[in-house]
Structures are given as C-alpha cells and as structure tokens.
C-alpha cells in the first residue's frame, strides 16, 4: 500500500487536507484578529489600506555610472513608478573608491558607482527630491550615502523636512548573510544609532533603517527564520538606541522593515500578517511604546531573486506575479517586482518595464485592492498565521537565551540555522521532492537569446576619470581638516552624522571617510 503523501510549507509546517473552524478555535478574534487599523494590526496597519492609497511601486535599480542610472530612474518615473530604490555597486557598499585595487571588475556591476558627492549630484540631477520618495539599499556606508543625499538637497535648497525615503542601514544581517560589513559591531551600531538620532531631529519623514529579513531568506532561511531573526535584530537596534538616551516614541514610528515574498503563496501572506502582530506586541508590551504609530510595522517587499531561473526565463514572469500578489494580499506598504532576466544579468529597460507593469495590473485590474484583507477569516490562513507565530516566538526565546541577536550572531547560531535550512531545501530539489519548473522537471533544450544588459567599460573609465578630477579641483586643505575632525569625533560620544556631512560637502571621497573610521575602529573579521 502506497504511503499517504504529506504536505508542508517551506518552513516545515504541516498542511492538512481541509480546514474548519476548529483549527482556529483558540483564536480570540477581538484580541488577535480584530479589524484593519487596530492593534495588533494582523489585518493591516491602516483602516482603509489600498482603498485609500496604493502601495509605493518602488523598482530597485542602479548600474554602471551615475549618468546611466539617472537615465533609468527618469525612465521608470515616466512609466508610472512612484518611488525610487537605489542599488549601489560592491565597492560603494564596502567603502572603496572606484579606482581602488579591490574594486577592479566590480565597478557598476551590481549597482551604481558612487565615490564622491559629485556622483550623487549627477545621480539625482533633474529628479525633485522633495517629491520623490527614495530608498537606498546600503548598509556599512549608509550614513555616508545619506549625508551625500542630504548635501545634494541642501545644495538645491530643498528643505530637509520634505525629504522622504529610507536607508537600509541594517548591519546585523550583513554579519549573518551578505557579508558587506566594514567595521566591528560596536562601531557599526554607533553609526546606526547616530543616524536614528539625526533623522529624528532633522529628517522627520525619513526612515533611518530598514530591518531586513530578505537577504537571510535569500541565503536559505525559512519564512519562520526570516521573521524571527529580523525581529531579534530589530530588538537589538532598539535597545542600542535606548542606551544612547533616545526615547522609544521619538524613533520607533520611523523604523521600517524589508521582507521577501517567495513562492509559497499562502505561507507568505500569513507571514506578513504575523509580522505585524508580533511587532505590535513587542513595541507595546516589551518596550512600552505609547504612540500607536510606534506599534505599526511598515514594510517594503521584494519578490524572490533566488527563485528566478536562468532556464526558461519567461517562467519568471509568472513566479514574480504570484509573489507580488502574495505581498499585496499580505498588506505591504512598498513593493519591488523582479525582472524576468535577473537570473542572467541586470534587467534591461524592457524587462524592468514589464516588472513594473506586473504591479500596475495587480493594482488597477485585479480587484484585490477593493477590500481590506480579503483573505482574513480563511480557516486555512488564520490557522497558518497562528502556527507561524508560535514557531517565530520559539526562535525568539532561543535567541534571548543566547543573550540576544549580537551574541547569537557571534556564536554562529543564525548562520548555522540558515545553512541547515538551505541544505534541506537543496536536498529536496535534487531528490525531485521540490519541483522547480524548467530546472528539475519540464525541462526543454534551449539557448538563451535574451538581450543581456552589459556594463560599459567606457563608462567605468569615465567614472574613475571623474573621481580623479574631483581630487584635483577640491580644496584639499579643507578635506584634510574635515577628515581630522571626523577622526577626533569618532573617539568621542558626539553624533557622527554632522562631521560625515561636513566631509561629504568638502568632497571627501567614500574611501577617505571609511579609511578614517577604519583607523579608529579597525575592520571586522569573522570568527568562524
């Protein structure tokens, strides 16, 4: 007799054949489900959600030089994109100039190359900073890139209180998953809390951090691990900010999050609902936040890059559409949809447009925005929401036993858990238990005939030429004094955003600023 087949989510949560009211009988509707816009916000942070305002359509883009990326941004805005999301190249992320020996082969490859304020001025030329919300995916050098963005606004006489957007600024997940760290944790946390304080006073509409589960999920974490590790990191950031004397309600309303939307349709929707519920309780019950806005979890979503395949690239359009729909049904505030060719290269203009159209069709043609939380009350969805919450809370307890996120990271706990999950997933794929259409089933013989976007070497040469030009024409005595002031203040308790801004306005380059801080704090070396 053939064994009965079992079904489970990507996090290993068992899925029953059918769901009835008994599976959610322990759910206190008045406390846990409630209504949209009411604590704990399981059904959405706003009463009317997309009936009042659609999510921000924020396509992640950046490649080559500032000139090329500026042209792409203007194109996307002309096509109906409602916010910008800036991708930076690896040297910029690691605090190296475009002409550094370690930058060879990487300039402009994974994002735009930014070495000096002049690059940032070109990047945003002709783009009204006071009207367009800007997200910058940058971590170790986030304070420097934010300072450059501020300097451009000041030069163009744009009031800082009108700037809106986000810097990712989430260094803990870099130690865990992406590895684009520079400084040891204490120096990195100092920069983060300094940006919290600066933004709370100078940039009231700016999110000083986007606490990210996305990259841990791309590294192999499950949906449960994505939430648990993200929230443990968030708790670490909040505690670090409180230790500096900041008040919880002064900065908590501007904390934002960044999650993936992967291919397990219902698990992803449930995950987003759980995320709001858990964060609301953490802020209200653990940190005693009083403002309702401090309890509300606001998050950006990106569809899953690692789920895209180089085989049968058109299949990626369907994958991205379903993932985007999960994010919308889950109540995201902002969304990026991946382009079909991203498993091959950076997206072409045509594929980027198609990815944006995917969001627009969901928004304007599908009807899913006509009511709030249309799947709320589903026996299956509510049961799955509860199960995910239980598993996330178990992980959070375990991390507390380690002594918190930083201790868990330094011991390798996060990394080992993610590695195990990635290994188990790959075993299922290779055994044919996890079907990847076009990869391990339904394969076809094909040749890639797509137009692939390639970064022009001529542009890279121009980027390095511009960097050297800035070195020659700037006031180098002013540069020296600015860097010396930064060095001295990095040894004190003063907020470093002010001397960093001064360095940027003096046209110090990103390498000089990071090398100054490296002198004081050193560089982080992984212990295992």
- The model's pLDDT over 441-493, given as tens digits with 9 standing for 90+, comes to 999 987 665 677 777 789 899 999 999 999 999 999 999 999 999 999 999 99
Query: How many angstroms separate the CA atoms of 54 and 480, rounded?
Result: 47
Query: How many angstroms separate the CA atoms of 345 and 108, rounded?
Result: 13
- The model's pLDDT over 171-202, given as tens digits with 9 standing for 90+, comes to 999 999 999 999 999 999 999 999 999 999 99
- The model's pLDDT over 205-241, given as tens digits with 9 standing for 90+, comes to 999 999 999 999 999 999 999 999 999 999 999 999 9
Report the pLDDT value the prediction gives residue 445, as an integer from 0 to 100.
Answer: 84
What value does the mean pLDDT take over residues 14-18?
88
Question: Half-sphere exposure of residue 392, counting CA atoms within 13 Å on the CB side?
Answer: 28
Report the pLDDT value the prediction gives residue 29, as an integer from 0 to 100.
Answer: 44
**pLDDT higher than 50, residue 496:** yes
**pLDDT higher than 60, residue 363:** yes
Q: 360 pLDDT band (50/70/90 cuts)? A: very high
Distances (CA, A) of 9 to 164, 303, 368, 381: 37, 18, 24, 12
Report the pLDDT value the prediction gives residue 60, as an integer from 0 to 100.
Answer: 87
Report the pLDDT value the prediction gives residue 30, as an integer from 0 to 100.
Answer: 39
- In the sheet that holds 299-303, the strands lie side by side as 206-207, 165-167, 133-137, 83-87, 56-61, 334-336, 299-303, 255-261, 209-212
- The model's pLDDT over 319-359, given as tens digits with 9 standing for 90+, comes to 999 999 999 999 999 999 999 999 998 899 999 999 999 99
What value does the mean pLDDT take over residues 386-399?
97
Residue 376 Rama label (left phi>0; alpha psi -120 to 50; beta):
beta
Backbone angles phi, psi at 55, to 5 degrees: -60, 160
- 188 is written with which tokens? 């990195």
- The model's pLDDT over 63-99, given as tens digits with 9 standing for 90+, comes to 999 999 999 999 999 999 988 999 999 999 999 999 9
Query: How many angstroms separate the CA atoms of 249 and 70, rounded?
Result: 36
Tell how far CA 362 is from the center of its chain. 22
**pLDDT higher than 60, residue 27:** no
* Neighbouring-strand partners of residue 60: 85
- 118 is written with which tokens? 């002049």
**pLDDT higher than 70, residue 2:** no
Report the pLDDT value the prediction gives residue 225, as an integer from 0 to 100.
Answer: 98
Q: 505 pLDDT band (50/70/90 cuts)? A: very high
- The model's pLDDT over 131-161, given as tens digits with 9 standing for 90+, comes to 999 999 999 999 999 999 999 999 999 999 9
Q: For each of the domains in the chain, give its residue range(s) and CATH number, in order of start.
A: 36-340+358-430 (3.20.20.240)
What value does the mean pLDDT take over residues 55-65?
91
**pLDDT higher than 70, residue 26:** no
């Amino acid at each position: 007799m053939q064994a009965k087949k079992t079904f489970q989510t990507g996090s290993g949560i068992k899925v029953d054949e059918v769901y009835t009211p008994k599976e959610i009988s322990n759910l206190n509707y008045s406390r846990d489900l409630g209504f949209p816009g009411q604590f704990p916000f399981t059904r959405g942070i706003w009463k009317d959600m997309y009936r009042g305002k659609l999510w921000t359509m924020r396509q992640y883009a950046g490649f080559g030089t500032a000139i090329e990326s500026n042209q792409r941004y203007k194109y996307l805005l002309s096509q109906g994109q409602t916010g910008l999301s800036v991708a930076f190249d690896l040297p910029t992320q690691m605090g190296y100039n475009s002409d550094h020996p370690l930058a060879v082969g990487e300039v402009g490859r994974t994002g735009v190359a930014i070495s000096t304020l002049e690059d940032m001025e070109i990047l945003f030329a002709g783009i009204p900073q006071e009207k367009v919300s800007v997200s910058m995916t940058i971590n170790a050098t986030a304070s420097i890139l934010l300072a450059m963005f501020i300097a451009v606004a000041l030069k163009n006489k744009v009031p800082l209180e009108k700037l809106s957007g986000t810097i990712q600024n989430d260094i803990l997940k870099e130690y865990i998953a992406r590895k684009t760290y520079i400084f040891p944790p204490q120096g990195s946390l100092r920069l983060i809390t300094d940006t919290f304080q600066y933004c709370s006073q100078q940039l009231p509409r700016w999110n000083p951090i986007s606490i990210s589960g996305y990259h841990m999920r791309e590294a192999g974490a499950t949906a449960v691990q994505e939430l648990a590790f993200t929230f443990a990191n968030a708790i670490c950031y909040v505690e670090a900010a409180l230790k500096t004397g900041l008040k919880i309600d002064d900065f908590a309303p501007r904390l934002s999050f960044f999650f993936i939307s992967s291919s397990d349709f219902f698990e992803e929707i449930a995950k987003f609902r759980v995320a709001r519920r858990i964060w609301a309780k953490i802020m209200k019950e653990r940190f005693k936040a009083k403002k309702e806005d401090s309890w509300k979890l606001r998050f950006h979503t990106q569809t899953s890059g690692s789920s895209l395949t180089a085989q049968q690239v058109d299949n990626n359009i369907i994958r991205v559409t379903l993932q985007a729909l999960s994010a919308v049904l889950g109540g995201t505030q902002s969304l990026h949809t991946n382009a079909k060719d991203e498993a091959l290269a950076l997206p072409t203009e045509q594929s980027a447009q198609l990815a944006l159209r995917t969001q627009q069709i969901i928004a304007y043609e599908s009807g899913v925005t006509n009511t709030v939380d249309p799947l709320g009350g589903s026996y299956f969805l509510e049961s799955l929401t509860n199960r995910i919450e239980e598993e996330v809370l178990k992980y959070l307890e375990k991390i507390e036993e380690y002594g918190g996120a930083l201790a868990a990271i330094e011991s390798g706990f996060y990394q080992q858990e993610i590695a195990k999950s990635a290994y188990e997933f790959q075993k299922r794929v290779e055994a044919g238990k996890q079907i990847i259409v076009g990869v391990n089933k339904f394969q076809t013989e094909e040749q890639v005939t797509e137009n692939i976007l390639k970064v022009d070497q001529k542009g890279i040469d121009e980027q390095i030429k511009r960097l050297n030009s800035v070195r020659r024409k700037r006031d180098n005595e002013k540069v020296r004094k600015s860097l010396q002031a930064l060095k001295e203040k990095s040894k004190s308790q003063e907020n470093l955003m002010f001397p960093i801004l001064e360095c940027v306005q003096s046209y110090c380059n990103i390498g000089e600023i990071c090398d100054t801080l490296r002198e004081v704090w050193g560089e982080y070396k992984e212990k295992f």
